[in-house]
Structure 1
């Protein structure tokens, strides 16, 4: 078998070069890279349907180093053949039929995507487009865009005390970038979700795509929640972080009673429900829920100091014991209220004092809505 027969003939099959159009359309994509590559970073609308699994990729990579490309291709054709090949083509076919406007890509838009495209076409007659330059080109495009995007809109930062309902408020607006949603983390010691956070690369890709889509709608102002440099394990990109550090701030004011109720809803009721849905088994869910709260509180131990940490822990343990015994969760409000007044509020007062010159409006939900509306933010 000579090299001509080894390489797929894809000259007549479609290639997509308009990366901007592809991103804005949010078209569904097939990522044919190995699972380990996909986990390191992908675009949010992609589904991993690999040409080779991790073990096959490792074997082919070793053969390439030892014997060159032709021998690596031959090994790949041997490994992915027969029933394995048929199953993978069937998966690509089902995806292509479900998403006829989609496309496929590998890392560089080279051999793997060409083989996938050719096999799919030969077996099914579906001429599914491949992306020129593959994931590498997509990633480069998104990084280049991200660097300059903050100069293309006016950012507003929504701030307020812990529990004032900033996230809920933002969800009522259209001109918003939900950083916590993209990072899958609520941004505090108690902000971890049941499902893990995305990789840093996945976050950056999703953030850039969301920004581009918002700008494509003609929005010239965008609202962001007040965040630190890190949201859990995710770090805000420099271009965005530094732009938000100088953006005007709008303060949302909410009563102490409302803040306690909203925080109780977030930290306890919603969190418990998420664990129950994730685990299915109520006992397992309660164990995981308990551990998550204890772990979250432990993250604050140094900042609280020995006395305050011991008091908060005693409140939490009492609430957990009551919950385990009766299912009642109301006692959790005691430690939540203690943290709000003795930890989060003093920290907020200090932080906001460093930003006083940037505050352009202060008000309750209706007043803030009216302020944003007067600035063409809806």
Structure 2
């Protein structure tokens, strides 16, 4: 006989083994926050959920349940069961959940078990319990490693170094943002809930490897629209620092590759060849315009003139080298003065434990396991 109410709260196993999950909540709920290895195949669509919610408030749980069975019946019920089964057949060990592990996931679990003639596990406590588990893993008491902060002037190649070591947490990658005034990608950032969930996933996986150190980039509290939870931010910023030293030529080249060459490819792939470059330019221009007051009128005009000239030259000749001029001006006039103060403070406080070029820093970090 089938056990139709098999439940699990082995959340760490789900994270470490990337166990596929079916989220049966309505799309409007899933859009606010889900899990990396989850797929939304709802038992109720948004309208059905809304109707049942009104019924629950006016007539209680029993009538709301009856309405749910009435709305999801016949062909609709059959189609939704088939959607779950199609997913399960191509994703072994699939588990299922709703918001609190209540009626929706229990009913879906029963229907799936009857159709497949075998059990499927559902998450005990549902989304809420798993989410609480992930948030707990961002608390200080659950950080079983020593944080190290990778710092350096803008464009020194810190993110590239992070991607080449196993014991790193790429906060910008998790936030889908480059962490600067021009840091947005064409694809949207995760919701704040998903940013926190994804960060917790990465931390759990890295800590399972028993690294003595985890390496972070020197980030502000906000990465685009996402923000790092205060307690976790304070913890990793308590770590010692490693300084990446780069020449201005190296920094300009790194910035050119990341913010012009790679960024333009993103825009062209998304908007097409005809509109991609124009959309990229509009984004850079509007981002720079927001910094007008901080740059000051004369410096702003100078940088803007160089940007306009570089863009027009690229359109006419295909050459991108002229972008180096506005990049260098912007690094020297905007970013460097801000970072110089922080760097001097770090030197005074003796928080920098190593300093070197990219290759030297990478070699040093690879020995910090």
Check whether TM > 0.5: yes
1:313 alignment partner in structure 2: 304
Q: 1:365 aligns with which of 344, 348, 358?
A: 358
2:137·2:143 contact (CA, 8 Å) conserved in 1? Answer: no
TM-score by length of 1: 0.93
1:217 alignment partner in structure 2: 209
Measured after TM superposition, the shift of residue 149 of structure 1 is: 5.2
Instruction: Tell me the secondary structure at the aligned position of residue 192 of structure 1.
Output: coil
2:4·2:113 contact (CA, 8 Å) conserved in 1? Answer: no
Q: Distance in 2 between matches of 1:124 and 1:151?
A: 41
Instruction: Tell me the secondary structure at the aligned position of residue 211 of structure 1.
Output: helix
Q: Distance in 1 between matches of 2:45 and 2:311?
A: 44
Task: For 1:208-357, list aligned pairs within 5 A.
Answer: 208-279=200-271, 281-356=272-347, 357=349
Measured after TM superposition, the shift of residue 150 of structure 1 is: 6.0
Q: Does 1:51 align with 2:49?
A: no
Q: Distance in 2 between matches of 1:327 and 1:344?
A: 28
Q: Distance in 2 between matches of 1:150 and 1:76?
A: 41
Number of residue equivalences: 367
Measured after TM superposition, the shift of residue 153 of structure 1 is: 0.6
Q: Distance in 2 between matches of 1:266 and 1:126?
A: 50
Measured after TM superposition, the shift of residue 26 of structure 1 is: 2.0
Structure 1, residues 54-90: CA drift from partner, whole Å, max 9, x if none? 1111111011111111211122122222222222212
Q: Distance in 1 between matches of 2:48 and 2:319?
A: 52
2:120 alignment partner in structure 1: 128
2:199 alignment partner in structure 1: 207
Unaligned segments of structure 1, at least 5 residues: 1-8
Q: Distance in 1 between matches of 2:23 and 2:118?
A: 17
Task: For 1:147-226, list aligned pairs within 5 A.
Answer: 147-148=139-140, 151-226=143-218
Which 4+ residue blocks in structure 1 deviate beyond 6 angstroms? Answer: none
Q: Distance in 2 between matches of 1:106 and 1:38?
A: 10
- Call closer, same or farther: CA 1:194–1:72 in 2, change over 3 Å: same
Unaligned segments of structure 2, at least 5 residues: none
Measured after TM superposition, the shift of residue 126 of structure 1 is: 4.2
Structure 1, residues 13-60: CA drift from partner, whole Å, max 9, x if none? 421122222222221111111111111111111111111111111111
1:149·1:211 contact (CA, 8 Å) conserved in 2? Answer: no
1:301·1:309 contact (CA, 8 Å) conserved in 2? Answer: yes
Q: Distance in 1 between matches of 2:148 and 2:9?
A: 34
Q: Distance in 2 between matches of 1:309 and 1:85?
A: 61
**Which has the higher mean CA deviation after the structures are superposed, 9-18 or 37-46?**
9-18
Instruction: Tell me the secondary structure at the aligned position of residue 328 of structure 1.
Output: coil
1:108 alignment partner in structure 2: 100
Task: For 1:94-105, list aligned pairs within 5 A.
Answer: 94-105=86-97
1:107·1:135 contact (CA, 8 Å) conserved in 2? Answer: yes
Instruction: Tell me the secondary structure at the aligned position of residue 284 of structure 2.
Output: helix
Q: Distance in 2 between matches of 1:59 and 1:194?
A: 36
Q: Distance in 1 between matches of 2:80 and 2:4?
A: 22
TM-score by length of 2: 0.95
1:4 alignment partner in structure 2: none
1:5 alignment partner in structure 2: none
Structure 1, residues 161-207: CA drift from partner, whole Å, max 9, x if none? 11111111111100000000000001000111111110111011111
Question: For the aligned residues, what is the CA RMSD?
Answer: 1.7
Instruction: Tell me the secondary structure at the aligned position of residue 137 of structure 2.
Output: helix
Q: 2:73 aligns with which of 68, 71, 81?
A: 81
2:174·2:199 contact (CA, 8 Å) conserved in 1? Answer: yes
Structure 1, residues 111-159: CA drift from partner, whole Å, max 9, x if none? 0001111111222324221100000000111112211356411010001
- Call closer, same or farther: CA 1:88–1:327 in 2, change over 3 Å: farther
Q: Distance in 2 between matches of 1:292 and 1:141?
A: 38
Q: Distance in 2 between matches of 1:35 and 1:303?
A: 41
Q: Distance in 1 between matches of 2:60 and 2:5?
A: 27
Q: Distance in 2 between matches of 1:273 and 1:331?
A: 18
1:106·1:134 contact (CA, 8 Å) conserved in 2? Answer: yes
